Amino acid sequence: MRALIFDCDGVLADTERYGHLPAFNQTFAEFGLPVRWDEQEYGRKLAIGGGKERMASLLTPEFVAAAGLPGDPAGQAEAVASWHRRKTAIYTAVVAAGDLPPRPGIARITAQAHAAGWLLAVASTSAEPSVRAVLEHAVGPERARDFTVLAGDVVPRKKPAPDIYLLTLDRLGLSPRQAVVVEDSHNGLAAATAAGIACVVTVNDYTAAEDFTGAAFVVDSLGEPDAAPITVLANDSPARPGAYVTLADLSAVAGEDAT
């Protein structure tokens, strides 16, 4: 038995630049908050795992005063939760409108893995409604039902901690050597490798310059047979990706227990 485990944002679709960032900024505007993140600032915020956590990073004494927020931690947490609920609703609507195309190769490799008997999962620190919306758009509602989805606040520590991947393995009933993770960021890679799972990285514009030491291999996308060849940025595995990543490539990076 094997499992193919995906991160969501930046892996299933290019969600950060065209989905999450506009949704954060629309939320800030609707709540009258004195902040707007540009692409550079949001790129820095991506080092923080989780949308609520990114919003909470705004809560300096100066910001709390300027925004007229409660001074007590409980009141501030309630405010952040309210912002995040609205942000999730905005983002989910963007996904439902089809404005975030799936990344190349996701539907293809998912279908092949399912046909070969692999278990499928998504492990993400994003809110579960957002993750499910992206997943259904990326692979279709019928295939999405084949996935185990673990997202949001299901673990106490978010990436780069390994908690989400350890929980995923537990839910699937597999050992780390029976799984392969597809991630897009250093934090995600750190979480997967700390859980003992081989990790393949597909970079995006926000993460291309990050350190991916420890990844099985790093590519610019999973690719498609009828599209331009992918670029293999690094490879420290038995896999030999060609014009696009195949299920055989993912099998090659799995541990011995998966053979």
The Cα–Cα gap between 209 and 204 comes to: 9
Which residue is catalytic, options 7, 14, 163, 184?
A: 7
Residue 106 backbone phi and psi in degrees, to 5: -65, -55
Which residue is catalytic, options 9, 14, 184, 249?
A: 9
Token pair 């030491």: residue: 213
Catalytic, 184? Answer no
How is 102-121 classified by DSSP, letter by letter? Answer: BPTTHHHHHHHHHHTT-EEE
Are the C-beta atoms of residues 122 and 144 closer than 8 Å to each other? no
| Side-chain half-sphere exposure of 170, counting CA atoms within 13 A | 10
Question: Helix axis angle, 186-194 relative to 163-172, nearest 10°?
Answer: 50
Residue 56 DSSP one-character state: H
Sign of CA dihedral 139, 142, 148, 149: positive
The Cα–Cα gap between 10 and 211 comes to: 16
**3-class SS at 217?**
strand
Catalytic, 170? Answer no
Residues tagged active-site: 7, 9
